[in-house]
Amino acid sequence: MANPSAVCNGHLHHHHHQKQNNLLKSGVCKKNGITKGMKKNGVSNGTLYKKTFIEHFEQAPMYVAVLTFVGFGVGTIFGYLRDFMRAWGLEKRNIAEEREQQKDFVPLYQDFENFYTRNLYMRIRDNWNRPICSVPGPQFDLMERVTDDYNWTFRFTGRTIKNVINMGSYNYLGFAETEPNALKTVTKELQKYGTGICSTRQEMGTLDKHVELEKLVAKFLGVDDAMVFGMGFATNSMNIPALVGKGCLILSDELNHTSLVLGARLSGATIRIFKHNNMQSLEKLLRDAIIYGQPRSRRAWRKIIILVEGIYSMEGSIVRLPEIVSLKKKYKAYLYLDEAHSIGAVGATGRGVVEYFGMSPDDVDVLMGTFTKSFGAAGGYIAGKKDLVDFLRTHSHSAVYATSMCPPVAEQIIRAMKCLMGLDGTTQGLQRVRQLGKNTRYFRRRLHEMGFIIYGNDDSPVVPLLLYMPGKIGAFARRMLEKNIGVVVVGFPATPITESRARFCVSAAHTREMLDTVLNALDELGDFLQLKYSRYSKSSHPELYEETRFELED
Amino acid sequence: MDIKHVKDYIYWLYYQYLLITCSYVLEPWEQSMFHTITVTVFAMVVYTAYVFVPIHVRLAFEFFSQIFGGQPDSTVSIVN
């Protein structure tokens, strides 16, 4: 069914198809080895996208932006007032500050970040770092905590809030579960190997479990070889320095995750940023890099690598992989794809954005991902050609110095992956992926109908709902908790200062009733807090049409 | 029942005002200070509008009517 919301924000993404047609055709004829790609695409007119790629980034009405600034202005003025009172001793100081002898030195806590933390973040701090005391499944238990001095200190009352609906955990396929049946093999491995490894991969930390897991990951993704690491963040930040160095060029997306940014900065290569998911910007940077070379010597760059993510976790947008691959082939660059949120969550069988766009994993040079999100475990992997993985085994900091993944966690990933691939004899894996797809589309459709502004692609399970005003961040999170729903709200500095949002992560373990509870709560709260800014809501009585719409969608 | 409706509506308006101006996050004494200042400024604006706007509107009307329809007035006075 054609989605009329594609016309919403005036960005008809179909336009890009025609432009890239010529690019692909011209690129194809010149090089060999690409004919394989052409055959795999199979579509005779050469369109890059097999299904419609619809993303929404609607802008709020002007008065919302003005009121947001007014809100921040009031907060800032009162921030200065409180700082003044603290400096002149009219108020007790609860925060870190310099010692008396250091008052004449360069000030440590006067920059905007510290000002913001002291005066704005502290006031609504009770919405973050909430301790949970159960498995983060579709429902979880929270420890209740109260504050007596406006969020400077907390104390636990001892009560737990039970069965809070979990809309914040990255539990896309629902593998964070405690059912004994499901965890049989994990318990067995725990009893066989214990929990600690007490060594790094290079010394005595490579177990048969790691070898089994790596072979399974390579088979799952359809590549030659893979390597697993103990921590997802460390996978990015420790392996990018091993792959690039001085004299190389990194082209990184505007909204890349901190781990990618840290890895890029640690490597010492030159970093250039292109606008988020904007192929014209990327192509311009590539052309400039090839035409002008390195800054002073004008030599060619040793390597040009493009860093992108599969799904961007703050926007919910999916990378334009076909266009990037055609660009990389034309300009001879390398591609590093971070599938932290997209592995397991998109694609017909859960194999990530490569499968979602119907492309071959040979097109991407370095496939990276994490096991934290869809597999209910911890750790990351890098997969690709055998030469690449062999190189990383000896040269990566993480492989040489960091402790390897512990065996029960590796077994959890093995069982989750086997379930996804169908190797355990059931179709449970495929059912989970389909359920996630259904839940995602239902949730997004209902939110669009209600009139909220939602960012991102229609197929991504990460759903950011825009709140804009700083006062509403705290109000939204607290009221949702009163209704027994746990949400994650995000503000500056993780997002631009005017675009604070609430981010929902849909899971395959959410039942239709849970989603309906959440949607009804959102409807009520949207009216009460006036969050329905969208100018393009579809209908005011969606429940009348829901049944028939459903038949058509399936 | 109706009174409750009205009271709820007024509370809702007050809550919107708190959210929009971000005074929802302030401590009670800061809120009182902010409300005092806002109400004072608003009262001054209303008072100024009440006192000065009608006078200015009347003067502006006379000025423009003098420019466009001024000729007939003067001829009448000369004839007289």
Tokens matching residue A514: 């849970």
Residue showing tokens 């949970």:
A132
Cβ contacts of A74 on chain B, cutoff 8 Å: 21-23, 34
Last residue of one domain, picked from the residues A385, A406, A421:
A421
State whether A306 and A205 are in the same domain.
yes
- Radius of gyration for the alpha carbons in chain A, expressed in angstroms and rounded: 25
Between strands A249-253 and A304-309, the pairing is parallel
**Interval A390-401: pLDDT, tens:** 999 999 988 888
User: Which DSSP category does A487 fall into?
Assistant: -
Residue type, A315: E
Which of A67, A120, A528 is nearest residue B20 as measured by Cβ atoms?
A: A67
Residue A394 lies in a domain: yes
Q: A210 with A228: CB under 8 angstroms?
A: yes
State whether A307 and A408 are in the same domain.
yes
pLDDT at position A49, please? Answer: 79
**Interval A64-107: pLDDT, tens:** 999 999 999 999 999 999 989 988 888 777 777 778 888 888 88
Mean pLDDT calculated for residue range A370-374: 92
**Interval A343-365: pLDDT, tens:** 999 989 999 999 999 999 999 99
Judged against a pLDDT cut of 60, whether residue A234 lies above it is answered with: yes
Cβ contacts of B31 on chain A, cutoff 8 Å: none
CATH (domain of A291): 3.40.640.10
B23 to chain A, any CB pair closer than 8 A? The answer is: yes
**Interval A489-534: pLDDT, tens:** 998 888 888 899 999 999 999 999 999 999 999 999 999 999 998 8
Q: For residue B56, give how far its alpha carbon lies from the nearest alpha carbon of chain A (Å).
A: 29
Which H helix or E strand runs over A502? strand A501-505
Nearest CA in chain B to A77: B34
Residues of A with CB under 8 A from a CB of B: 67, 70-72, 74-75, 78, 81, 120, 123-124, 150, 469-472, 474-475, 528-530
Residue type, A65: A
State whether A393 and A436 are in the same domain.
no
**Interval A106-138: pLDDT, tens:** 888 888 888 888 889 999 999 999 999 999 999
How many domains would you assign to chain A?
A: 2
Opening angle at CA A14, ends A8 and A20, nearest 5 = 145
ipTM metric: 0.79
Judged against a pLDDT cut of 90, whether residue A21 lies above it is answered with: no
pLDDT at position A205, please? Answer: 87
Which burial class, exposed, middle or buried, applies to A66 when counting CB atoms under 10 A from its CB (0-12, 13-18, 19+)?
Answer: exposed
State whether A145 and A218 are in the same domain.
no
State whether A108 and A241 are in the same domain.
no
Cβ contacts of B25 on chain A, cutoff 8 Å: 75, 120, 123-124, 470-471, 474
Half-sphere exposure at residue B34, Cβ-oriented, CA atoms within 13 angstroms: 22
Structural domain range at position A443: 50-166+427-536
Cβ contacts below 8 Å, chain A against chain B, sum to: 46
State whether A295 and A281 are in the same domain.
yes
**Interval A245-302: pLDDT, tens:** 999 999 999 999 999 999 999 999 999 999 999 999 999 999 999 999 999 899 999 9
State whether A338 and A444 are in the same domain.
no
Please say whether the dihedral angle defined by the alpha carbons of residues B48, B53, B55 and B59, taken in this order, is positive or negative: positive
CATH (domain of A66): 3.90.1150.10
Average pLDDT, chain A: 85
pLDDT at position B71, please? Answer: 55
Residue A238: φ, ψ to 5°:
-100, -15
Residue showing tokens 């003025």:
A77
State whether A385 and A472 are in the same domain.
no
Residue A204 lies in a domain: yes
Cβ contacts of B34 on chain A, cutoff 8 Å: 74, 78
Cβ contacts of B18 on chain A, cutoff 8 Å: 471
CB contact under 8 A, B21 and A71: yes
pLDDT at position A542, please? Answer: 46
pLDDT bucket at A1, cuts 50 / 70 / 90: very low
Judged against a pLDDT cut of 80, whether residue A7 lies above it is answered with: no
Label residues A418-428 b or e (16+ Cβ within 10 Å = b). Answer: bbbbeeeeeee
Q: For residue B14, give how far its alpha carbon lies from the nearest alpha carbon of chain A (Å).
A: 12
pLDDT at position A270, please? Answer: 94
State whether A310 and A208 are in the same domain.
yes
